[in-house]
Amino acid sequence: MTDDAISLTLDGEPDLPSAILQAIYRITGRSTVELRRSIQNHEPLFTAALFRNDHIDVVPRLEKTIAYVTELGLPFTLHEQVDGTREEIDLATLRNILEGTDGQFT
């Protein structure tokens, strides 16, 4: 990934029921097979590339994914990737990033 991006990775390896994976699919657009594989391999559940033409679509998906996994009580980690460097961030940092890019995170 070379673009500036924010990714959300679930902590651990939760064995999520199909209904939850399907709900995440509806938010992220990633198939349940891809989601399950990402969880098992500790890879991002969703990655939002910033500052691209689809920014207006991916940021709300990221926000909805965060809200949904938070509602479920699933622990997750956020990472920011800028210029090839990947760093863990918290929700406050994410808010600052999105506010700087006209994000609507609340």
pLDDT tens track of the chain, all 106 residues?
A: 447 899 999 999 999 999 999 999 999 999 999 999 999 999 999 999 877 666 667 889 999 999 999 999 999 999 999 888 999 999 999 998 888 754 444 4
CA distance 47 to 33: 16
* CATH number at 5-100: 3.30.1390
Buried b (16+ CB within 10 A) or exposed e, 72-81: eebebebebb
pTM: 0.84
Measured between alpha carbons, how far is residue 54 from residues 22, 49, 58, 60, 102 in Å? 23, 8, 6, 11, 13
Domain extent listing, the chain = 5-100
Torsion angle of C-alpha atoms 46, 51, 57, 60, degrees rounded to 10? 60
